[in-house]
């Protein structure tokens, strides 16, 4: 019995325009996009196509020039730093290409810090997250004592510390070799499924497509294809 799909993210005629002294750049140009709860979406496109701008708007790091952004049935605040920050804190987890772990904190302390910032320190939950990404027993290691792949898995666990509704990842395996990339992506895929989290990932790597339920290609600020990736 299939569950009814719930629309979590809805973008309507969304555009983002940047003006320089010499030109106007349409980073996003009339984007219409709906993402349902529980989907794992991969965004593909060449450099400068608008992928990162789209992530920044979904995470409320940036505001659209025009159009609507509806999240879980509510319009997302724009051009209001305080409200945008609050939205991001309550709903969004982020994974970066360069891990961004605090070097003087252990793996578990990196996770606990995020929990503390949101007022919900939970050591058992932090340990559970590290276990989910295959790092049980390494809680007290510092980042410099971990491999690149292990550091990225800590970053994944940290991004889930506040139980976000959406996980955004910008080139999450860009600094990793092929084998490590597989391990990290499998951990990410498994944890999203276990936790029921919606994920949107930007990548240049076609080898990651098998981890997605949906593949969207973007070019020159427009969505040029949108394909389901279910293997039935």
CB 114 within 8 A of CB 89: no
Q: How many CB atoms lie within 10 A of CB 120?
A: 12
Q: What is the pLDDT of residue 30?
A: 94
Secondary structure of 168-222 in the HEC alphabet?
A: EEECCCCCCCHHHHHHHHHHHHHHHHHHCCEEEEECCCHHHHHHCCEEEEEECCE
**CA gap 142, 104 in Å, rounded:** 7
pLDDT in tens, 85-144: 999 988 998 887 777 889 999 999 999 998 887 778 889 989 988 988 888 899 999 999
pLDDT in tens, 6-60: 789 999 999 999 988 888 889 999 999 999 998 999 999 888 899 989 999 999 9
CB 165 within 8 A of CB 196: no
Overall fold of domain 39-64+91-228: Rossmann fold (3.40.50)
CA atoms within 13 A on the CB side of 111: 30
Domain spans of the chain, in order of start: 39-64+91-228
For 170, counting Cβ atoms within 10 Å of its Cβ (0-12 exposed, 13-18 middle, 19+ buried), the class is buried
């Amino acid at each position: 019995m299939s569950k009814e799909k719930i629309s979590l993210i809805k973008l309507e005629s969304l555009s983002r325009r940047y003006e320089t002294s010499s030109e106007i750049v349409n980073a996003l140009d009339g984007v219409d996009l709906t993402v349902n709860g529980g989907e794992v979406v991969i965004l593909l496109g060449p450099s400068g196509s608008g992928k990162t701008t789209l992530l920044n708007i979904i995470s409320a790091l940036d505001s659209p020039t025009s159009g609507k952004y509806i999240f879980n049935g509510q319009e997302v605040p724009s051009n209001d730093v305080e409200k945008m920050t609050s939205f991001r804190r309550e709903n969004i987890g982020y994974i970066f290409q360069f891990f961004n772990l605090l070097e003087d904190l252990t793996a578990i302390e990196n996770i606990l810090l995020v929990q503390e910032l949101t007022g919900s320190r939970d050591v058992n939950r932090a340990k559970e997250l590290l276990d989910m990404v295959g790092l049980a027993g390494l809680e007290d290691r510092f980042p410099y004592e971990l491999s690149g792949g292990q550091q990225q898995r800590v970053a994944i666990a940290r991004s889930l510390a506040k139980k976000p509704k959406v996980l955004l990842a910008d080139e999450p395996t860009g600094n990793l070799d092929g084998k490590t990339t597989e391990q990290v992506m499998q951990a990410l895929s498994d944890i999203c499924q276990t936790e029921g989290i919606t994920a949107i990932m930007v990548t240049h790597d076609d080898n990651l497509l098998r981890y997605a339920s949906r593949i969207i290609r973007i070019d020159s600020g427009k969505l040029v294809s949108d394909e389901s990736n279910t293997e039935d």
